[in-house]
Amino acid sequence: MNSDMTAKRCGYCKGTGKVKKSEFGITTVACPICHMKGTVDVPSDYAMCAHCDGTGKIVSGFAMSKSAVCEACEGKSWAKRD
Say what the pTM is.
0.79
Mean pLDDT by 10 residues, the chain (82 residues): 82 92 74 95 94 88 70 93 74
Sign of CA dihedral 38, 43, 46, 52: negative
Query: Which stretch of DSSP H or E encloses residue 9?
Result: strand 5-9
Task: Note down the domain range covering 14.
Answer: 5-73
Structural domains of the chain, count: 1
Q: 66-69 and 57-60 as β-strands: parallel, antiparallel, unpaired?
A: antiparallel
Could you write out the three-class secondary structure of 30-56?
ECCCCCCCCEEEEECCCEECCCCCCCC
Residue 82 lies in a domain: no
Q: Answer yes or no: is 80 within a domain.
A: no
Instruction: Please indicate, yes or no, if residue 37 is contained in any of the structural domains.
Output: yes
Query: Using alpha carbons only, how large is the chain's radius of gyration in Å?
Result: 13
